[in-house]
Amino acid sequence: MDIATMSTLASHAQVKQQTSVQLQQQTMEYAQQEGEALEKMMNDAVNTQKVEHEAQPHLGGNVDFSA
């Protein structure tokens, strides 16, 4: 194998590796953003439940079952 071919192959391998690393970084950033959004949504739901309970504390305290 001549030097030019080896250089080309090395360059292609480097490009593939850089692309893979960039894709992994983007995936990790996306997962982090999704996690933060989920955490915010869950906190908002808990806060909403607290407000609803404060407004009408008698609701949801009892559950009647019948068969």
Higher pLDDT: 53 or 40? It is 40
Say how far apart CA 15 and CA 21 lie, in whole Å.
10
- Contact assessment for residue 15 and residue 9, using Cβ atoms and an 8 Å cutoff: no
pLDDT above 90 (res 14): yes
Question: What's the per-residue H, E or C state across 8-53?
Answer: HHHHHHHHHHHHHHHHHHHHHHHHHHHHHHHHHHHHHHHHHHHHHH
Q: What is the pLDDT of residues 30-52, one digit of tens each?
A: 999 999 999 999 999 888 888 88
Between 62 and 36, the higher pLDDT residue: 36
Please tell me the predicted confidence (pLDDT) of residue 30: 98
* pLDDT score recorded for residue 21: 97
pTM (2 d.p.): 0.61
